[in-house]
Structure 1
Amino acid sequence: MGGLKEFLSRFFSNKGHHVFFSFLIAKICGFLGSLVIIRLLPENEYGILSIVMSVCAIFLPFSGFGSNQILLRYGAISEKENKQNLSSYLFFKGIFNEIILIVIFVGISLFYAPKYENIIIIFLFFGIRLMGFYLSNHIQTYYRISGKNDIFAKVSNAINIGGFILLLVLTYLFKFYGYLLAIALIPYLSLFWLKKEMFSAKRIVYDNKKEIWRFGIFTAATSVISETLFSLDVMLLGFLMNENAVANYKVAILLPSNITVLAISFMQSDYPLLSKNYQNKNFLRSYIKNYYKIFIPICILILGFFYFFKDLLLKVFFGTNYSDNSNLMMILLLGFTFGMLSRNLFGNLLPAVGKIEVNTWVSILSLIILSVTAYFLVNTFGILGMGISLSLVLIWEGLAYLTFFGNYLKKLTR
């Protein structure tokens, strides 16, 4: 791969910056969308939506039973004709799988129906969204594996920016049902970029079915478990302490947890390239070296900035009521910055080289470790104990991923 200059040159020539900024835009639009529903909807309606959104969040990573994750990894290492074959096979198979998921998802509404009026209708709107989410993911993934990162970014930005405008207008005009209509329609904006070659290859049978679906299911499961990790800390804190402790913890973790978007966006930009070079030992070593040349200085700057301005940041963003959480925020920041240099790097490299099962088992163990350490540390140190527990888990995950990837590299012959 060469030095840092060549590394960055390749990143820009591959239009990786388009992917990088599209992820950032998605993050910003998601935040603004949350503000819209909080500001424009009554508390009781927002509460019901939160219940459905929480259930939906579990189903999203299983979209198509992992078909889009399969397309991203195996499509990246395939020749052009095989990309189209794989895309066609997964497109139709994924739709069938998604229908099954939507039926299960809507079926869950029956458990809530006796307590919450009209919740089945809300689930139906979100079911429509789930199918749109599957289609938009397939379209965007196809452009990524085809090396058209600029078009991928256009689709992503249209969904996020156009979707936010649609969400704002419909929610303002029609309130609750305007919001439901907007979130159902937003993913379908991607259909303007749907091309015939994505689903019309003559040969749509793919040979390595067992291998690719194993990868897809493991990837989807890992995504759900990883999301659970960042919900479990809050649930445990609510059980071990009280709602005030939860509020202070949520404030302290908000800024540290969001810095990882830099590393995640960067790694996602290069994911197809990393998959193509999954057996190229020199390339992978060089990639890690150049990644560190960029992110070690970034992490040092972040730590320095937060250290000197931690009190001011808490006051500006959250008010004086939360200014006593500076030590907790710094503890969490140490965990997340270490995670950027280990967990985010090697946790993305392992799926790219086909070792997704490592992420799954490490994530399961992480949930157990967090539960045990939090029980003892929160009882001893209070809210700081939860910050220490999560940071220890992030460090453990990073070291585990590093170890497994190091073993993978050693086994490569070239």
Structure 2
Amino acid sequence: MTPSTSAGPVPAPAPPLAARAASVGSSPVREILALTERPEVISFAGGLPAPELFAAQEIRAAYDGVLADEPRRVLQYSTTEGDPALRAAVAGRLAARGLPTGPDELVVTTGSQQALTLLATALLEPGDTVLVEDPTYLAALQCFGFAGARVVPVRSDDAGLDPVALAEAVERERPKLLYLIPTFQNPTGRTLPLERRRAVAEIAARYGMWIVEDDPYGELRFEGEPEPWVAALPQAADRTVLLGSFSKVLAPGLRLGWLRAPAALRRACVVVKQSLDLHCSTVDQAAAARYLADNDLDAHLARVRDAYRERRDALLGGLAAALPPGSTWNHPQGGMFVWARLPEGADATELLHDAVARDVAYVPGAPFFAGPADPASLRLSFTTHSPEEIREGLRRLGGALRAGTR
């Protein structure tokens, strides 16, 4: 019998959320960013590009140009694969950097984050195994969690993914794919050397495994020589998907990225994308293509790299005074992040409360681990603030950590 009151039948409760929606938590990084939105907070937390370095006037001119010249086209629906001119421009940049690519080998996505979702949907059945570096990009862990995958961490060290550990994990787990960020990794800033990239490619070829190579930071190199993409190595060229993004090199608000994949997988990703959003914004793609045609992105990137190098050096130069004795940190050759570790027994998550109270913030390292977390680790982003603000932030951070580790 249906329950009722004097006002009539009592409505039945709505059906529950899908199990995957309840099992995957929200991003701790996003929650920390919400805590640090006060303008007085100096935040080393978010991986946010410096807004004062955006090519705002040039981007505006690109929008003005396409809206003036082609309003009917750029305000209309378009193809799922993406704007032909934008794909041609991306293909040209990839070829110039040593990876011959045709426009038809690319799919434009809503940031490289959507590319991960497309791949997870096209490749993974619930229960499939995914291998990841440990630690790794937090949103990738969320994405694979929503797909119902079983995520297995692979041991990493200061040079990135350990090929011996990878071979052992592949032999033991028989995964469907490996996800890695080989250049200026998030969260650690590490770069995988060439011999390890070759080993990864050989293992993937030997055991039959997909590689998802995420490269949002590769063009932000300050020093040293660039390493080739894993996708460019012949051993794994037929099984490597390369992801890229305009978020770190142009502006994240555009929400434009791309994937380069073998034909069958690329076609599957196009079908998945049709079900998600039909296609990326037509006008945004057209404006990005116009910007690339009318401006020198490499000259813009040179200015960005110069600024970020100075900010990285300001951060590295002040860590010895800011972190407690016994702390360690790395020296990334590019990207956006420094990975640090407090002395044994310290808990970066607990200490964050003291830091925020002093108007400074960072991201604890624990959420980035797929395996047992290292509570003493933390990620520091150096791109958002000027060198002067970084030095002041380190002064505040030092006060908070000294108070919290007594």
Q: TM-score under structure 2 normalisation?
A: 0.29
Q: Which has the higher strand share?
A: 2
Q: TM-score under structure 1 normalisation?
A: 0.29
Q: Tell which has more relative contact order, 1 or 2 (C-alpha 8 A, sep 6+).
A: 2
Q: Which has the higher helix share?
A: 1
